Amino acid sequence: MATIHPFRAFRPAPDVAARVAAVPYDVVSTLEARRLVDAEPLSFLKVLRAEIDLPSTENSYAQSVYNRAVQNFETLTQAGRYTLEAKPSLYCYQLTTATHEQTGVAMCCSLDEYEHGLIKKHEHTRRDKEDDRTRHMLALGAQTGTVFLTYRALTTIDELVDRTCEEGPIYDFEASDNVRHRLWRVSSELKSEMVSEFRSVPALYIADGHHRVASAARARVELRKRGMSKGDSGSMSRHDVFLAVAFPDQQVQVLPYNRTVRDLAGMNVEEVLTRLRSKYVVRPGSPMPTCRGNVSMYLGGEWHVISLNVAENKETKDKRIARLDVTRLQENILEPLLKVVDVRTDPRVEFVGGRRGIAELEARVESGQAAIAFSLHPVDLEDLMTIADEGGMMPPKSTWFEPKLRDGLLIHMIK
């Protein structure tokens, strides 16, 4: 059973929403964030990545960064004419591209349910990233980043969403990446029905935003230490929930999360190909694998397709995890051949997600940024949900969800 909570959104005026709305903090580098803010000074990236306003020599996790985030938050919310909704509401958030459309429900979700495994995760988090977002939330007294959830679709919820979207939206704009963003407030009548229908959803799954949820849970612990407890009569307090948008699984689009490696671990191109051909079928082929079990590799200016074996996952022995192409790649090539033991910590590995695609992989190799690139078949969403149901953890950077939600449109104040 999923418990969802209406919330009092802190949000910008409609006529500046398009200027304020920003890509999530973790999909751009500091340099890319600076360029985006140069093009749009009202971008919420000034809050999400406040280091862009400080000298490049400044540590990204220095206290001065969080102090600047607070300053920028106050300045930007005044310029964006932000207002706090008078009453708790739910919202419908729609993302549309030339080939895809998905509509989710924006709400708050229980951190108790997250900590008890009713809101399910599929990836481990990194402590340093948790530290960063926890400090960011506590400094601002707000959750400014939205967690992307999914659930097994229910017709009754779909119908309520459709009825909401028959009305005029609060926001309607096309972002610079050609994604159209529309937001509706759910009426008071439908809000109660929506909350009730979500109780029939067996589980919510974190698709994107594991660090945001983990950080919200840690921020709650800290706020309780400071004397902020639950609401009256044991009701939920603002810091007992986290901000999210939940999309039905049938509408969610999963794209590949590809990899590059900086060097060939002391080998040359021919040595790598020889060693691979001694174990696997390697043939010239497409930059994008056409089926699971195949991985495309860019090496020596050419694309090769490798048919990989199903690896036995050393940690969990989980056959479903072992069948994932990210697992096959790690355990058949990255670790034994290229000496990449842990992709989370090895600085030689970089990740390229979503629409950056094949051209980006080729460019990194041709420019010398990487020596080799791997293009993967996307993970099936049903695999993700089943692994999460079983308590399994997928390899790092297994999934890329696109289109991305924009931050800065809906903010949840926690203090």
| The total number of structural domains that make up the chain | 2
Residue 401 has pLDDT above 50, yes or no: yes
**57 confidence band (pLDDT: 50, 70, 90):** confident
Residues 114/242, Cβ–Cβ less than 8 Å: yes
**pLDDT, tens digit, 9 for 90 and up, residues 281-326:** 999 999 999 999 999 999 999 999 999 876 545 554 567 888 899 9
Measured CA distances, 67 to 24, 62, 215 (Å): 20, 9, 18
- pTM (2 decimals)? 0.92
pLDDT number for residue 311: 55
243 and 273 together in one domain:
no
Is position 397 within any domain? no
11 and 99 together in one domain:
yes
196 and 286 together in one domain:
no
**pLDDT, tens digit, 9 for 90 and up, residues 232-287:** 434 579 999 999 999 999 999 999 999 999 999 999 999 999 999 999 999 999 99
Instruction: Count other Cβ atoms within 10 Å, centred on residue 61.
Output: 12
Residue 389 has pLDDT above 80, yes or no: yes
Is position 13 within any domain? yes
Distance CA 160, CA 90 (A): 12
81 and 230 together in one domain:
yes
223 and 262 together in one domain:
no
120-159 exposure pattern, b = at least 16 Cβ within 10 A, e = fewer: bbbbebeeeebebbbbbbbbbebbbbbbbbbbeeeeebee
Range of the domain at 265: 257-377
75 and 114 together in one domain:
yes
- Structure token digits, residue 396: 């790092």
